[in-house]
Amino acid sequence: MNQYIKRTVRSHWPLLVILGLWFLFSSPYFLKGLVPFPSKYLVTFFAPWNASYGMALKNNAMPDVINQIYPWKTLTIDTWKKGEIPLWNPFSFSGTVHAGNYQTAVFSPFNLLFFILPFIDAWSILILIQPLLAGIFMYFFLKEIHCLNVGSLIGSIGFMFCGFLVTWMSYGTLGFAILFLPIILWSITRYFRTKSFYAYSVGAFSLMCSFFSGHFQISVYVCIVSFFYVLFETIKSKKHKEGIMLLFMLGIGVLLSSPQLLLTYDAFRASVRSASIQIKEIIPWQYIVTFISPDFFGNPVTRNDWFGHYAEWGGYVGIIPLVLSLYGTFFSEKKDKIFFIGLGILSLLLAYLSPLSIALFELRIPVLSTSAASRIIVITSFSLCVLAAFGYEKLLDSWKKREIRKTILFFSCMAIIFASTWVFVLIIKPISSEYLLIARRNLILPSIFTIIGLFVIGIGFFKQKYWVIIASVSLVLLGCIDSYRFASKWMPFDPKEYVYPNTKIISEIKKVIDINRVYGNIGNEVGSYSQISLIEGYDAMYQARYGEFINALSNGIVYQPGPSVVQFDKAARYALPSFQLLGVKYVLHRLSDGNNVWVFPHWLYPDKFVSRYRDEHYELFEYRDVYPKIFLASSYVIKTDKQEIINTLFQKDFDRRNTLVLERKPNIEPVEGDGTIEKINQTPTRMSVKVINAVPKLLFRSETFDQGWNVMIDNKPSPLYRADYDFQAVLVPEGEHVITFYYWPESLTYACVAMLVGFCMLAGVFIINKKK
């Protein structure tokens, strides 16, 4: 047993280095009790906490973690624990899709962490495990394509702390989507060699995990790269049957991902994003210098960034992996380098301003043409890290063969690159002195790392063998130091006690809100996290129709909403009438805001709003004329044109409380008469009420209309109508009935069938493989 352990350590000691580097990076959590979450940023800049806190903070470049990702994860886990699929979020946009919003990662297997650990600890492990898995998976892939231990380690370190993974790590979505790429390529390579069903199933499930990770664009890149890698390996090995089986494997992975894919497709079609195709986040070529100096244009952490989008445009892999990747590109004799050179160049041209990147938007390809072009830079980084492993292998061969002339030529090229950069900042000076100071300061350390790295490469040519070992160890050490420096500079580790601390005003709102909504200068960091219903929201997948409704409240004109954000116009012409329909019973006012234009002017309507709570920072007002969130109506009008609906709904003599605007005729005519409603229960995806009517009535529900909503009356399906532009209504016959609204899109049923087919196909492959 001891001999086996020794052989294992001797063979896979790089895994220990990866683990050690990861633990060093994660040590603030394990040793100091800090969490990888920008909690200081939360309490310093986000309401209502910013009224009580204020402190210096490290990184304010990740607001989406605070107002989207973490609150969504909270809602996701809470809903799962209640025994429901988290399909709907009733706390933003007056109700919006949740699982269909891809970034919620509702189906991620890593959600199991939250059933084992306390939430904040599960979150911390979720975030921190990304570079560890990326490094391990990359190492296994590089070893599978016969790279040397040292080269595999250098490539793995470069990938686990590349610019993309570092800057997006705190989101816990994009990093997971890309880190499965190397293990998928491992499974492809292993299957070509061994026809192992184990490798085959790992590939299928890894692709599924990527698609479940929370960022569709990155997972599409993973799928496309995997597809072309199968083709490349098929042509190279001439094993066409295995190639066909592996394409079949990718298809199985997609089928297993069907619940996420089909729900997102539905959400995408209804969202504002489906019509939002514009050229965005294409990287200008001057930013290429950040491959050697990531902070050349400054860094948000040090508050001196002045050009570009640091998080979106980062392709840095470290000086040592970059140097070795260039060496491998020019001198390696490995056949596989053709694929990764081509992949690196193609992804670079798609990320940077070029005819290819422009064509991608001109083609109007869904998802790819509606997302940030720059994010494909992670594929460039991945390719560089693979080439770095090839480069080390060739360097070792050059050391052994004493190919000094070739290496001197390479040294000269590297020297020219850095000399040109220094000439730019010291002599040409095309930018202001303030920006040049930033560029010069942030170029010093990469230059030092490069000089030391080239010197280390040089000592490998000494005759004695131990100089090769010293040079190799030094390259690994330099790579570790550089990657740790880069990653730890960006990642915030903050105190647990500042992670959404409770406040008096939040406690009060939760006490009185019931199913009603509150309006004020607060966002999803309060709504989804504290389960307080809001009418505004921030998410690119919000429903376009709801955005049109909120926009139309300003001046009565329907027009296309903007991307990502729905914001209520505080001076809207139809503010108070819309509050009635939206179920806004409470308005939150920060005392220090006074009567400024950025707050709702409740003081203009003293007879409509009454103060219900006040503390040293906030006051909560109740809107007296609000309609119940669920009420009975006795009549309707039919309007199908969007502008006519708004015109009708807000005309002065229109009785919105008793008459609904429908877009199709109900199957029974409602009439005037008595009726009562009793709420039975409500969860994010279901609501049940008891209705007792003397006559047929229309039941209005102030929740965003979506095709995924269904309604049952006494356990029998009933039609659901779109009412008052974008809300829900159902015709309730006379008598006593239980009406149940539940969210289950038809596509989810098809997705479950497709997923089952995927499992059956995988089982079929297992049976065929076993018979052989």
Which tens digits make up the pLDDT trace of 30-85? 999 999 999 999 999 999 999 988 777 777 888 999 999 999 999 999 999 999 99
451 shares a domain with 369: yes
CA distance 398 to 331: 10
672 shares a domain with 602: no
Nearest to 469 by CA among 756, 179, 150, 255: 150
Predicted local confidence at residue 412, as pLDDT: 86
Nearest to 169 by CA among 114, 121, 124: 124
CA distance 582 to 407: 70
Residue 485 lies in a domain: yes
Residue 758 lies in a domain: no
CA distance 663 to 544: 17
Beta bridge partners of 739: 689, 713
Residue 542 lies in a domain: yes
Predicted local confidence at residue 7, as pLDDT: 65
Residue 168 lies in a domain: yes
131 shares a domain with 254: yes
CA distance 81 to 112: 11
- For residues 549-559, one letter each, b for 16 or more C-beta atoms within 10 angstroms of the residue's C-beta and e for the rest, the string is bbbbbbeeebe
72 shares a domain with 40: yes
Residue numbers of the chain with a pLDDT score lower than 70: 1-10, 274-279, 366-370, 771-772
Extract the runs of DSSP E, i.e. beta strands, from 617-671: 618-623, 630-633, 635-638, 659-662
Query: Which one of 586, 606, 623 terminates a domain?
Result: 623
CA distance 707 to 271: 13
Using CB atoms within 10 A of its CB, is residue 547 exposed (0-12), middle (13-18) or buried (19+)? buried
The DSSP string of 584-625 is: EEEEEEEGGGTT-TTS--GGG-TTTEEEEEE-SSEEEEEETT
CB-CB contact of 82 with 76 (8 Å): no
Q: What value does the CA radius of gyration of the chain take, rounded to a whole number of Å?
A: 29
CB-CB contact of 595 with 603 (8 Å): yes
Return contacts of 343-350, CB within 8 angstroms, 24+ apart. 343/225, 343/228, 343/379, 343/382, 343/383, 344/379, 344/380, 344/383, 344/384, 344/387, 347/376, 347/377, 347/379, 347/380, 347/383, 348/377, 348/380, 350/376
Packing angle, helices 240-256 and 258-270, rounded to 10: 60
Nearest to 719 by CA among 732, 703, 736: 732
Give me the sheet containing 721-723, strands edge to edge. 630-633, 697-701, 727-732, 721-723, 659-662, 635-638
603 shares a domain with 670: no
Other C-beta atoms lying within 10 Å of the C-beta of residue 71: 25
Nearest to 642 by CA among 570, 561, 703, 566: 561
Query: Which residues does 470 contact at the CB level (< 8 Å), separation at least 6?
Result: 459
221 shares a domain with 138: yes
Predicted local confidence at residue 2, as pLDDT: 62
475 shares a domain with 599: no
Query: Which residues does 188 contact at the CB level (< 8 Å), separation at least 6?
Result: 203, 226, 229, 230, 233, 246
| Domain at 730, CATH number | 2.60.40
CB-CB contact of 262 with 751 (8 Å): yes
Query: Which one of 602, 623, 644 terminates a domain?
Result: 623
Domain span at 644: 630-745
Name the maximum alpha-carbon separation found in the chain: 101
CA distance 579 to 574: 9
645 shares a domain with 614: no
DSSP-based helix, strand, coil % in the chain, nearest 5: 60, 15, 30
91 shares a domain with 58: yes
Predicted local confidence at residue 366, as pLDDT: 66
Give 390-406 pLDDT, tens digit per residue: 999 999 999 998 888 88
Nearest to 491 by CA among 676, 625, 301, 675: 301
Note if the bond before 71 is cis, omega within 30 degrees.
no
Query: Which one of 447, 467, 490 terminates a domain?
Result: 490
Other C-beta atoms lying within 10 Å of the C-beta of residue 528: 30
Residue 650 lies in a domain: yes
Predicted local confidence at residue 648, as pLDDT: 96
Q: What is the pTM of this model?
A: 0.94
Residue 736: strand, helix, or coil:
strand
369 shares a domain with 280: yes
Residue 105 lies in a domain: yes
CB-CB contact of 347 with 379 (8 Å): yes
- How many domains, in total, are found in the chain? 3
Q: State phi, psi for 221 to the nearest 5 degrees.
A: -60, -45
616 shares a domain with 650: no
Residue 13 lies in a domain: yes
279 shares a domain with 186: yes
Give me the sheet containing 709-713, strands edge to edge. 675-683, 686-693, 735-743, 709-713, 716-718
CA distance 699 to 677: 9
CB-CB contact of 608 with 580 (8 Å): no
Residue 737 lies in a domain: yes
